[in-house]
Structure 1
Amino acid sequence: MVTEGPIGERIRIYRRRRGLSQRELAELVGRSESWLSQVERGIRSVDRLSVLIDVARVLKTDVETLAGYRFALAPNGQPELDGLEEIRTALSAYPGLGLSTVSAGNLDEISRLTTEVHRRYQAADYGAAAKILPSLITTSDAMAAEAGGNERHRALSVQNQVYIAAAKLVTKIGDGHLAWIAADRAVTAALQAESDTLSAGAAYQVACAFLKLDQVERAEQLAMATAENLTDDSPLGLSYQGALFLIGSVIAGRRSDHAEATDRLRRAQYLADALGADGNHGWTAFGPTNVAIHRVSAAAELGDAKQAISIAENIDTEGLPEGLRSRRAQVHIDTAWAYSQHREDAAVVVNLMEAERVAPQALRYNVIVRELLREMLKRERRSATPGLRSLAQRAGVLQ
């Protein structure tokens, strides 16, 4: 019985005993080969109990042996955000089909609330964003259905932004299928508005939903095709195109393609330089600093911990527009992830505590953070990481 070592090492040992390649095991459990490669290399862990059960079944071993820890620390996805069920209900209201009766409301007020929900999301105030979204979704749907003449384009543009906000939030809290629905509706609104730029912003969210569903190839194809075809050189267009190249760099890192990740970061840097300064056009947070943050993310995805830490140490987030708490916290989360690859648990805890100081909810709903905390709890030395348990409790990993 194999009981020592991280979960990835145990999966690798049992996979080889069964005579399976990484591709074969990944296909049998419905995940990508790049995901399994990262798990076995210790770059990421298994974040859902259902997936761990599937892996154990295929490898003909029991879950606790494969996990290497008691079920109190077993992967169980992410905590459900208050208001998520109301968002699901709003997405199934379909006022245009007569399933519900919703007043269209005032376009200016809906636009104001849409701005507010994006601000709340970027401030990592996910609970507040979730409270706003349900009624905003149904009223924007009704508004878009009823608007005509000169108001129709603006109504569709606002509806696009409502669904982009919804897709961002449900992606963050872990529901990839719901995120796909919301992002797809953002695409529909953009196409009806006949706006290539709004379509690009929606395509970015579809790619994020695909990643959440571990559909890496689909995410990459969509993101890169959209980025290559976008010709809008306005600040909004540059920001959407840059954001697409950034998500493309992270995808390339996830499948261990260093050259492609580097090239996409280079292209994003060119667009950031053309933009001239850190911005937040289209709620992208795109600019030179966000490119630097993604350099850290890509290096962590590639398993190049030393490079990720080196880049992170030289990032100054003070130039980011006000309110971008989630972006500021991400630097510390990715740095923690990099330190975890060398098992420098004290440095991991310090960086996670700094991320928590900047944006408390960013930790609770970040799957990598929850993976890191579970792995550290398995090998905990309380004298070395005195703040670990309380941090894990606040993040919802320990009850």
Structure 2
Amino acid sequence: MVRRARLGRRLTQAQLGQLTGYSSAQVSRYERGISPLTDVDVLRRFCTALDIPVAEVGLAEAVSEQYSMAARQTGTTAYPRLSPPKVDILRQEDDVRRRAFLALSATSAAGLPVLGEQSASSSPQTTAADALVGGIRDAMLGLNDPGSDTTNGMPRPLSAQLRLVIEQDAGCRYRSLAQTLPALIRAGHQMTESGCVPTEETTSGDAHEAVLAQAYLVATRVLIKFGDQPLGWMAADRARQLATDRDDALLAGEATRQLAVLARRSGWTDQALSIALSVADDPRLRRAGREGTAMRGLLVQSAAYTAAKIGDGQGMRELTTEAAVIAAGLADGPVVRRYVGGFTPATVALHRISAETSTGDPVTALATAHALTPSRLPTIERRARYWGDVATAQALRGDRDECLRALLAAEHLAPEETHARPAIRALISGLLMSGRTTPDLRALASRSRVSP
């Protein structure tokens, strides 16, 4: 029926994919029956795109409010009307920070240079960031194996290593993570390639492949944060492949979300939207209980940020509202996932702060921030991110003093995060270059190894 309707409207599979938010390959799989077209929301989406009366596929005419919201955001309105990538988008991922520096330097002398990512990152990064990225790279390439992670001379179980890695990542303890995460990646490969039978410590949902996939998810987030996108692509793809081999929809969903982030950072915004929104409608996630619901929300939230990056404020707010509704509707409260950091109403609000700033609206961003209590965020890393996002919004407003206060609050929570993260270092550089300095600013710059 779908194929006949598509041909009757003289649409290609790619065009139908644009209307429904799927790839042409997925449309082909639906039409050939390889992927079952049985999910109610997916059926409604195709009916809407092709003007098929829903009664013909056995659905009721009444459309629930929840579906109506999803259709508005991912059907034939929000997604297709987003503009395709432009050259300036491909080259200006950090446009918000550039505008922030321009605002900060508005009262400075004409011609004062404004630092972007390239000039800000010309200073050496901290040892913690270098060691962590270098350690991940060597572990992924099978180089410089320093030996197994041990406890009292005995190898530490993979599940215990994973718990330690997640704890260090959530706490922004990158010097320690530079040792444990590469060791976990090596150990995971050794166990997986040797065909070892999981021990008692790893049988309860932590088989070797699942642990290795989660290690790669942590690695991907770190690599994205510290700007090593080529290695990030490799880590995310390895995580996705491991999850696919295990038929683990949750792990695959998170790996796909990270791939969508990487696509957005490469300027492939249409693809990033399609990836996130298509996987958010995977029926397997709808059958995966609360964690599946949280994963869907995270994917919608990722799409919202992509919409913000291309200047679609309305689309961003619609998608953010959907993510907030999903978070508020989780049974038994929020879901805090081990390798993600959590999906709660507070984390949705956190993402909106950054998204509103990206659309050039620091006033709304700061209003969102003021309505959010940072202690409600589930990890130290997320709380430090809150203050970093507030600093960016204050910089865009041109408020140097409040920007510095927010940066110092971020440093107080997570010094290694603040000193190493390129976005924060760029903000510090902007403050140094755009006007008067204070002892607090000079001290922060020194601790972060940022020079004027």
Superposition TM-score, scaled by structure 1 size: 0.77
Residue 286 (1) aligns with residue 343 (2):
yes
Structure 2: unaligned runs, 5 residues or longer: 1-84, 103-109
Residue 133 (1) aligns with residue 166 (2):
no
> What's the CA shift for 1:331?
1.4
One-letter code aligned to 1:91:
M
Q: 1:32 to 1:25 in 2, by over 3 A?
A: closer
Tell which deviates more after alignment, 250-259 or 85-94.
Answer: 85-94
* Aligned 1:211-360 pairs, distance under 5 A: 211-229=264-282, 230-275=285-330, 276-284=332-340, 285-321=342-378, 324-360=379-415
Instruction: Tell me the distance in 2 between the aligned counterparts of 1:346 and 1:294.
Output: 23
Displaced runs of 4+ in structure 1, greater than 4 A?
36-40, 99-108, 148-153
> What's the CA shift for 1:66?
8.5
**1:184 paired residue number:** 237
**1:59 paired residue number:** none
**1:92 paired residue number:** 141
Residue 168 (1) aligns with residue 221 (2):
yes
Superposition TM-score, scaled by structure 2 size: 0.68
> What's the CA shift for 1:186?
0.3
Instruction: Tell me the distance in 2 between the aligned counterparts of 1:66 and 1:81.
Output: 33
Q: 1:366 to 1:217 in 2, by over 3 A?
A: farther
> What's the CA shift for 1:346?
0.5
**1:6 paired residue number:** none
- Root-mean-square deviation (CA, aligned residues, Å) is 3.3
SS of 1:283's equivalent? coil
From 68, 72, 77, the counterpart of 2:113: 68
Structure number with larger C-alpha Rg: 2
> What's the CA shift for 1:307?
0.6
From 8, 12, 32, the counterpart of 2:90: 32
One-letter code aligned to 2:410:
A
Q: 1:135 to 1:326 in 2, by over 3 A?
A: same
Percent identity reads: 24
> What's the CA shift for 1:272?
0.8
**1:370 paired residue number:** 425
**1:48 paired residue number:** none
Does the CA-based 8 Å contact 1:104-1:140 persist in structure 2? no
Q: 1:372 to 1:326 in 2, by over 3 A?
A: same
One-letter code aligned to 2:185:
I
Equivalenced residues, count: 344
Residue deviations 1:272-331, cap 9 Å, x none? Answer: 11225343124321111101111111111111111111111121132334xx11101111
One-letter code aligned to 2:400:
D
Structure 1: unaligned runs, 5 residues or longer: 1-22, 46-64
SS of 1:256's equivalent? coil
Instruction: Tell me the distance in 2 between the aligned counterparts of 1:36 and 1:212.
Output: 9
Q: 1:36 to 1:283 in 2, by over 3 A?
A: closer
SS of 1:341's equivalent? helix
Q: 1:336 to 1:36 in 2, by over 3 A?
A: closer
Instruction: Tell me the distance in 2 between the aligned counterparts of 1:192 and 1:66.
Output: 55
Instruction: Tell me the distance in 1 between the aligned counterparts of 2:299 and 2:148.
Output: 35
